[in-house]
Amino acid sequence: MKKIFIASDHAGYKLKQSIIKKYSKLKKITDLGPFSNNSVDYPDFAKKLSKKVASNKGSFGILICGSGTGMAIAANKTKNIRAALCYSKKNTQLSRLHNNANIITLGERLIDKNNAFSLIKIFLSTKFEGGRHLRRVKKI
């Protein structure tokens, strides 16, 4: 079973807790914080999670903030991380098929929890196509 790491900031805390509750029965999820909805800085949690994903080959990460954008920007500063801001089924599927994304970022203020659950399911179950896409991913 692949390791899954999850983190958020205060704006994504509620959705993070819902995701942990839903998926912890099905998969091993490691919560990297925060552990309350007190104000925190999203880059700190993006960096913490990105380092975990980068050092655990084949693992995945889930990052949540208000929009998902800040987490994606911060996470993508880490070598070998391909964080994708996901908001639709199609863009989530393509992030895995073509980009081999290893972190999904979500915006709690932009999507409801059922949509988030659906996107996570797609993200975790979609395999990278490789082929011509591998050549491109290697250039990142």
Q: Render pLDDT for 68-91 as a digit per residue (tens, 0 to 9).
A: 999 999 999 999 999 999 999 999
End-to-end CA distance of the chain: 27
Which band of pLDDT confidence, cut at 50, 70 and 90, is reported for residue 1?
low
Report the CATH number at residue 126: 3.40.1400.10
Whether the Cβ atoms of residue 119 and residue 89 lie closer than 8 Å to each other: yes
* Phi/psi of residue 32, nearest 5 degrees: -100, 10
Mean pLDDT on 59-70: 98
Number of domains in the chain: 1
Percent with pLDDT over 70 in the chain: 99
Residue 109 burial class via C-beta count within 10 angstroms: exposed 0-12, middle 13-18, buried 19 and up: exposed
Residues labelled catalytic:
98
CA-to-CA distance for 66 and 80, rounded, in angstroms?
24
Question: pLDDT tens, 24-42?
Answer: 776 789 999 999 999 999 9
Yes or no: say if 27 and 1 are a contact pair by the CB < 8 Å rule: yes
CA nearest 117: which of 49, 20, 30, 7?
20
- Report residue 91 as tokens: 């863009």
- Domain span at residue 88? 4-138
Query: pLDDT of 82-128, one tens digit each?
Result: 999 999 999 999 999 999 999 999 999 999 999 999 999 999 999 99
